[in-house]
């Protein structure tokens, strides 16, 4: 009887082992009844140990890079491209999944499939896909990994010649951008004229200027755009204004120079800063319309006099306005180069800022050993820096001209741009730097070429 019971028990164990074996005949896939069917990757992160100097810069950025996961397309990608020259190699990869866990992981290469333990580094140069099996062992997802890298150096300015100025444009010219149109003021064939062209087409139309300033007396370099109105002065201290650049109206007749836009606490408080002559002396004055001048009574540089220093620029200078309404200490008009009232050429940069009680805060770097006191220095604001163009060399300052450095070679002008001075330099809303014409380094024929460049990373 006991033997019979033992035989039944042995037979039961044998059948049980056979059944268990048949349910687990695939040693690479385990099916767990009731396990989660979620095979999604919920986050993806890369990191690596830097080997080269480039790696030491790029890999910390990569470690902070956010990867997006498009579940509908099974695609993992980085919206913000990794730095130029980031080298794709073995990266440590961190994934997160459903809280129910997963079954297993595979790396799917173009020609093979490998098991992955989730901790070993992955060589992304081999273009693997990551396949995730859900906890139930049945459902899976296969993700494509798109690691995006800048194909061109983001810190390089690429220059292109885009057009030329009209043949009649003389050696004296000033180009201004108003709305979406360029206005080039010049003396053509002995007559004052303005050429107008759309920024998109650059097809020029000539418009003679028959009212207002004369070709013999106009100070073309003084043309300034403020609140969508053009302003200019002539050699007799007469100022003019125009809405269209063609028809001009005489304004105040005591304006020696227009320095530029002096920013206020709000746009409504912005003004033009000018030099006015009164009794044979020169003073700073603010104006909103070039008709009424409000003389600045107090200068931070001299508590005993509000007269402009003889060394301060009177002509040939290059102004740039920095507007920062949230930090008024950076709300500044800078003026670089030019000839002073003492007729001495300068390479200094002056900064002017509105103070309390009609105070004009005035300062200068006082020394500039980097570039000379050259004619025709052209300054502009770009990528938060103040740039100066002189002798076809670009210099930059992160302190609004207090200290200058030579711009990196990646930001230098193309060697194909003619050597000139006094170019009109304009930065537009698309972050393009436009360079118009200029006075040639040698010869008397004015430069007519128009060049355009932009930092790759500032491509909107």
- Interval 35-59: pLDDT, tens: 899 999 999 999 988 888 778 878 8
The verdict on 176 and 130 lying in the same domain is no
382 vs 22, 29, 321, 351, CA distance in Å? 73, 59, 11, 17
pLDDT of residue 175: 98
Residues 221 and 245 in one domain: yes
For position 1, what pLDDT does the model report?
45
135: domain CATH number is 2.60.40.2340
Cα–Cα distance measured from residue 456 to residue 434, given in angstroms and rounded to the nearest whole number: 15
Residues 71 and 162 placed together within one structural domain of the fold? no
Q: CA 23, CA 452: separation in Å to the nearest integer?
A: 71
Q: For residue 67, is it within any domain?
A: yes
Residue 386's nearest CA partner among 312, 441, 452, 330 is 330
Q: Is residue 21 part of a domain?
A: no
Within a domain: 278: no
The pLDDT, as a whole number, for residue 134 is: 96
pLDDT score at 33: 54
Q: Are residues 122 and 238 in the same domain?
A: no
Residues 237, 184 share a domain: yes
Q: State the DSSP code for 330.
A: G
**Domain residues for 238?**
157-272+311-458
The number of distinct structural domains making up the chain is 2
Residue 383 is assigned to a structural domain of this protein: yes
- Asked, for residue 27, whether it belongs to a domain, the answer is no
Q: Is the pTM of this model over 0.85?
A: no
Instruction: Please check whether residues 191 and 50 belong to one and the same domain.
Output: no
Are residues 169 and 137 part of one domain? Answer: no
Per-residue model confidence (pLDDT) at position 356: 80
Task: State which of 111, 146, 181 marks the end of a domain.
Answer: 146
Q: Take residue 176 and report the two structure tokens written for it.
A: 């201004």
pLDDT tens string 49-85: 888 877 887 889 899 999 999 999 999 999 998 888 8
Q: Is residue 280 part of a domain?
A: no
* Residues whose CB falls within 8 Å of the CB of residue 2, separated by 6 or more in sequence, listed in order: none
Residue 121 in 3-state DSSP? Answer: coil
CATH no. for residue 355?
Answer: 2.120.10.80
Residues of the chain with pLDDT under 70: 1-34
Would you say residue 2 lies in a domain? no
Strand partners of residue 160: 452
Same domain, 238 and 104: no
What does DSSP say about strands 43-47 and 90-96: parallel, antiparallel, or unpaired?
antiparallel
Q: Are residues 205 and 76 in the same domain?
A: no
In a domain, 288, yes or no: no
Other beta carbons less than 10 A from residue 58's beta carbon: 20
Residue-level pLDDT at 251: 98
DSSP element (H, E) containing 195:
strand 191-198
Domain final residue, candidates 146, 177, 200: 146
436 & 378 share domain: yes
């Amino acid at each position: 009887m006991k033997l019979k019971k033992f035989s039944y028990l042995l037979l039961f164990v044998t059948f049980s082992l056979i059944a268990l074996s048949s349910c687990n005949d695939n040693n690479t896939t385990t099916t767990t009844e009731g396990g989660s069917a979620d095979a999604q990757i919920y986050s993806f992160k890369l990191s690596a140990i830097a080997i080269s100097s480039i790696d030491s810069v790029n890999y910390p950025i990569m470690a902070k890079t956010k990867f997006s996961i498009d579940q509908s397309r099974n695609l993992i990608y980085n919206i913000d491209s990794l730095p130029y020259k980031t080298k794709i190699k073995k990266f440590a990869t961190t994934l997160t999944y459903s809280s129910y866990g997963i079954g297993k992981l595979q790396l799917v290469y173009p020609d093979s499939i490998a098991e992955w333990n989730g901790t070993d580094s992955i060589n992304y140069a081999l273009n693997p896909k990551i396949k995730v099996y859900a906890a139930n062992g049945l459902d899976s997802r296969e993700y494509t990994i798109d690691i995006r890298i800048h194909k061109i150096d983001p810190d390089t300015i690429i220059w292109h010649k885009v057009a030329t100025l009209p043949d009649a444009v003389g050696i004296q010219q000033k180009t201004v951008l108003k709305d979406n149109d360029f206005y080039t003021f010049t003396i053509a064939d002995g007559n004052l004229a303005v050429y107008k062209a759309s920024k998109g087409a650059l097809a020029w139309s000539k418009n003679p200027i028959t009212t207002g300033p004369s070709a013999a007396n106009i100070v073309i370099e003084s043309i300034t755009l403020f609140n969508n109105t053009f302003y200019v002065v002539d050699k007799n201290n007469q100022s003019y204004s125009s809405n269209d650049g063609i028809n001009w109206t005489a304004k105040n007749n005591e304006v020696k120079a227009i320095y530029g836009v002096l920013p206020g606490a709000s746009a409504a408080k912005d003004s033009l800063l000018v030099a006015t002559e009164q009794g044979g002396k020169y003073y700073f004055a603010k104006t909103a319309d070039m008709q009424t001048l409000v003389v600045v009574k107090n200068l931070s540089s001299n508590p005993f006099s509000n007269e402009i220093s003889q060394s301060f620029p009177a002509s040939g200078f290059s102004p740039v306005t920095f507007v920062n309404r949230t930090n008024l200490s950076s709300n500044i008009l800078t003026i670089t180069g030019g000839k002073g009232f003492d007729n001495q050429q300068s390479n200094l940069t002056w900064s002017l800022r509105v103070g309390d009680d009609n105070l004009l805060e005035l300062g200068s770097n006082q020394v500039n050993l980097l570039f000379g006191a050259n004619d025709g220095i052209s300054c502009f604001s770009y990528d938060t820096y103040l740039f100066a163009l002189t002798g076809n060399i670009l210099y930059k300052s992160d302190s609004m001209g207090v200290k200058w450095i030579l711009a990196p070679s990646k930001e230098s002008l193309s060697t194909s741009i003619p050597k000139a001075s006094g170019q009109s330099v304009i930065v537009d809303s698309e972050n393009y730097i436009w360079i118009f014409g200029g006075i040639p380094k040698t010869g008397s024929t004015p430069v007519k070429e128009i060049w355009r460049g932009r930092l790759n990373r500032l491509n909107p």
